[in-house]
């Protein structure tokens, strides 16, 4: 070890305290190391300083979204980059040897053997072979080069066991000549048509997804925006329910009990709106008992917390292994947002016979909390990885012929894992045309082919749905560009050509000025009555949802706080709003914490409006007196409005700008992504891709320096985890 490495537990804890003082670590991280040191002292032992460091860093990595600390990476790569210490929000001039010791300096002489020796402490660290049971109660668990907090190792085991047990179940339709297979074939033909594919014809990946999901108790349907994930899962549920209902009265069976869930209230509301009218509109061919079949498909989507029955103040849920959910099929939308702890809770609450279907975009940002479950499970989805037996079954049951590139060599035992046979990637985009700049840019980023030359068409105005705005020079000049774009959407920045140009007069790439004009021009008379004000609120909310500024950071001039203040001041200067305090007419707010008493979920967006006192609730005020109320969509597919007094909203932020993380599960007609003026570990390929794909019709990018954009597109999120290895997806 080098001379600066602390030689005693006390010296190490002092160093960790200095990292805490510099905001490099959380108080929780340091407290965990101190707890282990205290417990060891109680036993009459003294822990290695390196073990105390490992404990604090493991906790730190969980806080950054990793499931574990990868010890091997600390010896083979730059520890500063692995740990993101100093953190991305550290002020460069304050970071140096005089401030506190960097991990790269501290760990420069630490070898893997040193780590293994320090972690050989059975009272504190349980050593477990891969894919092996562990009954100990040590606070830390080591599996090869990975060090876990024990509960996170447990979460991975629960998820792995839940997936493998479901993949091991033999579903009757797997036998092509069985009655169940015949019923599945008929149901698929009724939903998709009886035509098959052969030769050079493109496979129907939606039909393939339904077929593969029907033959397994665990399945994943992934795909980018506009690939038809929602339509596919509705057809899948129709297929599953149709097959189940054919047996009614024969074996005393009942229709499948199906539940739909999403990780956030916003994602749940969006899926509810998407499917509320889709079930009745869906063509079901000549499937028997069509009306009864449609009624058996749920259209209400709940949050996972509500589904499992969260218990306030604890990590526990009402539904668990001892009290499982009374369901047969569970569909989870936006599964990329589900962290490892919540996914483990889902598997614990599912009865053994229940199917689990995950729906989401594998390339989106991972969950805010630890884990990247969907991304890790789908790491080979692009290649397919289907065995010849699976390909043959698909041809017999779904009449779909896979391209040979998606079929593995049967003699290659490292390919064609069981989980690969239950994952389908939808590959055709229906939302964007072939000349869409949004689609082209997203695909380039995902493929890792973005460089300065590839950027030229996007910067040069080759696409009518994409605008590239540079903000160089003084901060005032940057502020002017951002403010003007946020207010108007800068239509002149989009090349006026193609079919989109004809629609601009009615549905152009508006900015925030648009919703404020709707608010001002269409406000009902004071005696118009509550229904009129509900309709007005819906129109204002719809107008607001057409445009959204997104950013990567929370702090700084290019972060949420700085942009919200900048945009609000610009609107105030233009007299589009009148800021007389924290609450004013036109203020958009984002709910940041679930509030079950108000029936508001994290991610819900509302608009503050001036309404007569009689509109939202009985009031002591005169009916003609105007008061401020915040209008939120009901979020249950009814189209209703929930009016809430600002004084009752305890966890909301102004939302002219929101982080890309908060935008997941949403889409906007026009999305504007503002990048900071310097590279940051937060700026990743997944963040850029997620920001771009929130746009439905127009996307604009504001960049101080295109190199920042290129650096971000090259930087992939890789979260340390062992789930892939447990399922044979990685070594």
Query: What residues form the annotated binding site?
Result: 223-230
The structure tokens listed for 250 are 């024969």
Task: Please report the sign of the dihedral spanned by the C-alpha atoms of residue 562, residue 565, residue 568, residue 569.
Answer: negative
Reduced to 3 states, what is the DSSP secondary structure of residue 600?
Answer: strand
User: How many residues are present in the chain?
Assistant: 731
Residues β-bridged to residue 143 = 146
Residue with tokens 């152009």: 508
> 279-313 burial, b for 16+ CB within 10 Å, e for fewer?
beebebbebeeeeebbebbbbebbbbbebbebeee
How many other CB atoms are found less than 10 A from the CB of residue 263? 27
Query: Which one, of 545, 494, 485, 492, lies nearest residue 518 by Cα?
Result: 545
**Gap between the Cα atoms of 270 and 592, Å rounded:** 17
Q: Which residues contact 426 (CB under 8 A, 6 or more apart)?
A: 205, 206, 209, 221, 222, 223, 224, 227, 228, 229, 232
Give the separation between CA 176 and CA 396, rounded to whole angstroms.
Answer: 7
Query: Tokens 């979020």 identify what position?
Result: 635
Distance CA 346, CA 166 (A): 14
Q: Where are the alpha helices (DSSP H) in 22-149?
A: 27-42, 49-63, 71-76, 79-83, 103-106, 112-118
Binding-site residue ranges for ATP: 223-230
Coil, helix or strand at residue 590: strand
CA–CA dist 462, 497 (Å, integer): 10
The two most distant CA atoms of the chain are separated, in Å, by 81
* CA pair distance 612, 619, nearest whole angstrom: 10
Q: What share of the chain is helix, strand, coil (3-state, %, to 5)?
A: 45, 15, 45
Q: Please tell me the number of Cα atoms within 13 Å of 390 on its side-chain side.
A: 30
Would you say 373 and 335 are in contact if contact means Cβ atoms under 8 Å apart?
yes
Q: What is the dihedral of CA 367, 724, 721, 263, to 10 degrees?
A: 20
For residue 582, count CB atoms less than 10 angstroms from its CB and return exposed for 0-12, middle for 13-18, buried for 19 or more.
Answer: exposed
CB atoms within 10 A of CB 678: 15
DSSP letters, 118-145, are HT--TTTEEE--TT-------SEEEETT
What value does the CA radius of gyration of the chain take, rounded to a whole number of Å?
27
Residues 6+ apart with CB under 8 A from 113: none
């Amino acid at each position: 070890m080098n001379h600066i490495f602390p030689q005693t537990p006390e010296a190490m804890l002092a160093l960790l305290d200095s990292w805490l003082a510099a905001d490099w670590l959380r108080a929780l991280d340091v407290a965990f190391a101190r707890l282990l040191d205290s417990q060891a002292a109680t036993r009459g032992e003294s822990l290695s300083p390196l073990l105390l460091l490992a404990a604090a860093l493991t906790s730190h990595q969980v806080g950054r979204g990793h499931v574990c600390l990868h010890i091997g990476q600390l010896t083979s790569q730059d520890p500063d980059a692995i740990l993101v210490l100093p953190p991305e929000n550290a002020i460069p001039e304050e970071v140096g040897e005089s401030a506190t010791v960097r991990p790269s300096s501290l760990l420069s002489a630490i070898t893997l053997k040193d780590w293994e020796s320090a972690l050989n402490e059975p009272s504190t660290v349980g050593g477990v072979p891969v894919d092996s049971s562990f009954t100990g109660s040590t606070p830390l668990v080591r599996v090869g080069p990975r060090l876990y907090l024990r509960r996170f190792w447990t979460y991975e085991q629960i998820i792995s066991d839940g997936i493998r047990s479901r993949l091991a179940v033999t579903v009757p339709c797997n036998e092509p000549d069985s009655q169940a297979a015949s019923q599945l074939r008929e149901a698929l033909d009724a939903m998709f048509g009886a035509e098959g594919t052969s030769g050079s014809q493109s496979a129907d990946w939606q039909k393939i997804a339904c077929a593969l999901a029907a033959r397994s108790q665990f399945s994943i349907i992934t795909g980018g925006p506009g690939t038809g994930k929602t339509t596919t899962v509705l057809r899948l549920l129709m297929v599953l329910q149709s097959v189940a209902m054919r047996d009614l009265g024969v074996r005393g069976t009942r229709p499948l009990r199906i539940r739909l869930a999403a990780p956030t209230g916003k994602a749940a509301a969006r899926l509810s709106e998407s499917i509320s009218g889709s079930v009745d509109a869906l063509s079901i061919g000549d499937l028997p008992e069509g009306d009864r079949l449609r009624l058996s498909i749920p259209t209400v989507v709940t949050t996972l917390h509500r589904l499992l029955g969260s218990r306030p103040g604890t990590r526990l849920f009402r539904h668990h292994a001892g009290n499982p959910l009374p369901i047969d099929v569970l569909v989870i939308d936006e599964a990329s947002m589900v962290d490892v702890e919540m996914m483990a809770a889902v598997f614990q609450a599912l009865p053994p016979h229940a199917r689990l279907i995950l729906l989401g975009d594998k390339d989106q940002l991972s969950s805010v909390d630890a884990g990247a479950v969907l991304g890790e499970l789908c790491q080979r989805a692009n290649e397919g990885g289907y065995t010849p037996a699976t390909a043959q079954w698909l041809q017999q049951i779904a009449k779909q012929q896979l391209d040979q590139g998606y079929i593995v060599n049967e003699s290659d035992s490292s390919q064609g894992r069981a989980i690969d046979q239950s994952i389908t990637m939808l590959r055709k985009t229906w939302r964007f045309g072939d000349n869409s700049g949004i689609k082209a840019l997203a695909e380039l980023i995902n493929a890792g082919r973005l460089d300065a030359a590839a950027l030229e068409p996007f910067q040069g105005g080759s696409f009518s749905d994409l605008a590239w705005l540079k903000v160089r020079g003084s901060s005032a000049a940057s502020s002017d560009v951002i403010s003007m774009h946020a207010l108007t959407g800068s239509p002149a920045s989009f090349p006026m050509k193609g079919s989109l140009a004809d629609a601009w007069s009615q549905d152009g790439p508006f900015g925030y000025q648009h919703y404020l004009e709707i608010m001002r021009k269409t406000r009902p008379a004071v005696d118009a009555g509550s229904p009129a004000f509900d309709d007005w609120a819906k129109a204002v909310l719809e107008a607001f949802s057409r445009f959204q500024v997104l950013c990567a950071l929370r702090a700084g001039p290019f972060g949420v706080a700085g942009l919200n203040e900048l945009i609000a001041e610009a609107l105030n200067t233009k007299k589009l709003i009148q800021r007389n305090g924290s609450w004013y007419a036109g203020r958009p707010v984002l709910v940041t914490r679930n509030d079950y008493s108000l029936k508001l979920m994290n991610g819900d967006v509302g608009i503050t409006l001036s309404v007569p006192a009689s509109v939202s609730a009985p009031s002591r005020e005169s009916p003609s007196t105007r008061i401020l109320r915040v209008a939120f969509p009901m979020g249950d597919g009814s189209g209703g409005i929930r009016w809430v007094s600002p004084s009752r909203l305890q966890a909301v932020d102004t939302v002219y700008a929101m982080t890309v993380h908060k935008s997941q599960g949403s889409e906007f007609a026009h999305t504007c992504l503002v990048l900071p003026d310097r590279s940051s570990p937060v700026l990743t390929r997944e963040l850029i891709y997620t920001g771009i794909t929130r746009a439905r019709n127009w996307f604009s990018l504001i960049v101080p320096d295109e190199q920042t954009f290129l650096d971000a597109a090259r930087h992939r999120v890789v979260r340390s985890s062992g789930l892939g290895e447990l399922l044979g997806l990685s070594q």
